[in-house]
């Protein structure tokens, strides 16, 4: 167990070193969520009466800010696994596989680093949100929100790392990512309240772990609980999601990297 922690940290350290040296990417990856919060936040500002009908008092942009924080987390973590493909192509993976470190630790180290990077990106988006006038009734809530973003991204990055380990080409990987990323974001209350979704969509949304994470962050940020989901259920769902993803990813990754590339 001790050695798994050490190995995970080794990979985590390597991934963060690489991230630090490619800083130009940080800003590029901020553009998309910034556009969402600034453009979509203003385009839909007239929908305030709709938002108010489900008991939310503030501006639309304040309603959707938690959604954009999670959007940042979703996309940072779902793209994050792509370097697994490069590692396999350029030999780092073989180097790691022929050293005594455990296979699961490679996957876990990657997931941990992606989740930290996602949290960093999300915190920059929170900064943008504050700059354009979104207010936090209780600024201390940023701490648990970051905790939730880290946990959620840890689970979500598992999807990316598993897909990258399974896909043998960039094309397959990006195809799968596009197939998954946007629908998971849209099928959640990130942009609109659950109550306003048609029934059949609401049912699908309730199967989506993104939904519970958005509800949690929104409740912490604005103090409004929404969708009739108690906060403890959201927390349980989030933890269950993370644990499941860690287990699935360790298994899939170990199985896939033992096959020839």
Helices 60-80/170-186 angle, 10° precision? 160
Q: Does 3 bind other proteins (CB under 8 A)?
A: yes
Under a CB-based contact definition with an 8 Å cutoff, are residues 214 and 70 in contact?
yes
Contacts (CB under 8 A) with other proteins, residues 172-191 = 172
> How far apart (Å, rounded) are the C-alpha atoms in residues 167 and 12?
22
Cβ nearer to other proteins, comparing 14 with 206: 14
Among 35, 45, 55, 95, binds other proteins (CB under 8 A): 95
By the 8 A CB rule, do 238 and 209 touch? Answer: yes
Rule CB under 8 A: say whether 14 interacts with other proteins: yes
- Smallest separation, CB 93 to other proteins (Å): 9
Which of residues 92, 130, 224, 251 is near other proteins by CB under 8 A? 92
Instruction: Give min distance, CB of 171 to other proteins, in A.
Output: 8
Task: State yes or no: residue 96 binds other proteins (CB under 8 A).
Answer: yes
Whole-angstrom distance, CA of residue 110 vs CA of residue 91: 16
For other proteins, the closer of residues 16 and 130 by Cβ is 16
Residue 76 CA to residue 117 CA, distance in Å, equals: 8
**Binders of other proteins: how many residues, by CB under 8 A?**
29
For position 22 contacting other proteins by CB under 8 A, the verdict is yes
Among 16, 142, 168, 252, which residue interacts with other proteins (rule: CB under 8 A)? 168
Q: Which of 117, 128, 115 is nearest to 36 (CA)?
A: 128
| Shortest distance (Å) from residue 112 CB to other proteins | 15
CB 129 within 8 A of CB 65: yes
90 near other proteins, rule: CB under 8 A: yes
| Measured CA distances, 75 to 5, 32, 62, 236 (Å) | 26, 9, 21, 23
Please report, for residues 82, 90, 98, 126, 191, the alpha-carbon distance to residue 110 in angstroms, rounded to integers and kept in the order given. Answer: 10, 17, 18, 24, 30
Q: Which stretch binds other proteins (CB under 8 A): 1-9, 55-63, 184-192, 202-210?
A: 1-9
Q: Does 10 bind other proteins (CB under 8 A)?
A: yes
**How far, in Å, CA of 81 to CA of 161, rounded?**
4
Q: Which is nearer to other proteins, 222 or 250 (CB)?
A: 250
- Contact positions toward other proteins, by CB under 8 A? 3, 6-7, 10, 13-14, 17-18, 21-22, 90-92, 94-101, 166-169, 171-172, 258, 260
């Amino acid at each position: 167990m001790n050695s798994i922690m050490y190995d995970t940290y080794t990979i985590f350290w390597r991934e963060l070193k690489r991230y630090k040296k490619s800083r130009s990417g940080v800003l590029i990856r901020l553009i998309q969520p910034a556009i969402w919060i600034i453009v979509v936040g203003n385009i839909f500002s007239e929908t305030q009466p709709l938002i108010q009908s489900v008991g939310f008092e503030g501006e639309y942009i304040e309603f959707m800010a938690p959604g954009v924080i999670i959007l940042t987390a979703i996309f940072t973590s779902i793209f994050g696994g792509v370097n697994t493909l490069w590692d396999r192509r350029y030999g780092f993976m073989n180097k790691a596989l022929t050293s005594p470190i455990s296979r699961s630790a490679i996957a876990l180290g990657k997931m941990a680093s992606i989740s930290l990077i996602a949290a960093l990106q999300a915190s920059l988006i929170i900064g943008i949100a504050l700059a354009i006038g979104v207010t936090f009734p209780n600024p201390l809530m940023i701490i648990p929100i970051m905790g939730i973003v880290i946990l959620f991204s840890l689970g979500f990055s598992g999807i990316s790392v598993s897909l990258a380990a399974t896909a043998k080409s960039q094309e397959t990987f990006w195809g799968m990512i596009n197939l998954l990323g946007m629908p998971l974001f849209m099928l959640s209350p990130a942009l609109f309240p659950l109550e306003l979704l048609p029934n059949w969509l609401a049912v699908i949304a309730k199967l989506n772990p993104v939904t519970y994470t958005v509800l949690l962050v929104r409740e912490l940020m604005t103090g409004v609980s929404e969708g009739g989901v108690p906060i403890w259920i959201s927390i349980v769902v989030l933890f269950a999601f993370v644990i499941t993803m860690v287990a699935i990813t360790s298994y899939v990754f170990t199985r896939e990297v033992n096959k020839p590339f």
